[in-house]
A and B are shown apart, each in its own frame.
Chain A
Amino acid sequence: MHELPIIKRVLQIVLSYASEQEAKEVRSITLKVGEMHDLIPELVEKYFSYASRGTIAEKAKLKIMPLPIICTCNDCQKHFVYNLRYGETTQGCPVCGSKTLNLVSGNELSIDNIEIS
Chain B
Amino acid sequence: MDEIRVIDIKESILEDNDKEANKLRKELIEQRTFLLNVMSSPGAGKTASIIRIIRELKNEFRIGVMEADIDSTVDAERIVKEGVIAIQLHTGGMCHLDCGMTRKGLESLEAKKFDLVILENVGNLVCPAEFDTGASRSMMILSVPEGDDKSLKYPLMFSICDALIINKIDCLPYFDFKIGALRERVKKLKSDIAIFEVSATTGEGFDTLVEWLRSETKAWNCLEGAYENRSIYTD
Name A residues whose Cβ lies closer than 8 Å to a Cβ of B.
Answer: 1-2, 5-6, 9-10, 13-14, 17-18, 21, 23-25, 27, 31, 36-38, 69, 71, 74, 82, 84, 87-88, 92, 99-105, 107-117
Q: Mark B143-160, 1 if CB is under 8 A from A, else 0.
A: 000000000100110010
The CA-CA distance from A21 to B155 in the complex, in Å, is 38
Query: When the two chains form their complex, are residues A36 and B159 in contact, meaning their CB atoms are under 8 A apart?
Result: yes
Give the docked Cα–Cα distance between A99 and B186 (Å): 10
Q: Which of B98, B127, B190 contacts A103 (CB 8 A)?
A: B190
- The answer to whether B188 touches A92, judged by C-beta atoms less than 8 angstroms apart, is yes
A101–B13 CB distance below 8 A:
no
In the complex, which residue of chain B has the Cβ closest to the Cβ of A25? Answer: B2
Complex: how many Å from CA A108 to CA B235? 8
A101 contacts across to B, CB distance below 8 A: 187-189, 191
A-contacting 9-mer, from B3-11, B22-30, B43-51, B57-65: B3-11
Task: Report yes or no: B127 in contact with A2, Cβ–Cβ below 8 A.
Answer: yes
A115 with B4: CB separation less than 8 A: yes
**A116 in contact with B5 (CB, 8 Å):** yes
Chain B residues within an 8 Å CB radius of A105: 235
Complex alpha-carbon distance, A88 and B178, angstroms: 14
B94: CB under 8 A from chain A?
yes
A71 touching B188, Cβ below 8 Å: yes
Q: Interface of B with A (CB < 8 Å)?
A: 2-14, 16, 94-96, 98, 126-127, 130-131, 152, 155-156, 159, 184-185, 187-191, 235
Contact of B2 (CB < 8 Å), options: A24, A87, A109: A24
CA distance A25 to B11 in the complex (A): 20
A83 to B235, CA, bound (A): 19
A-B contacts, 12 listed (Cβ < 8 Å): A2-B126, A2-B127, A5-B127, A6-B130, A88-B152, A108-B235, A109-B130, A112-B9, A112-B10, A113-B8, A114-B9, A117-B3
**A36–B188 contact, CB under 8 A?**
no
Given known A17-B7, A36-B159, contact A107–B188 (CB-CB < 8 A) = no
Looking at A25, A74, A84, which has the most chain B CB atoms within 10 Å of its CB? A84
Tell me the minimal C-beta distance from A26 to chain B in angstroms: 9
B9 touches A82 (CB 8 A): no
Most buried by B among A5, A14, A100, A111: A5
> Measured between alpha carbons, how far is A10 from B9 in the docked complex, in Å?
11
A35 to B155, CA, bound (A): 10
Residue from the list B6, B126, B131 in contact with A115, Cβ < 8 A: B6
Residue of A nearest to B192 (CB): A102
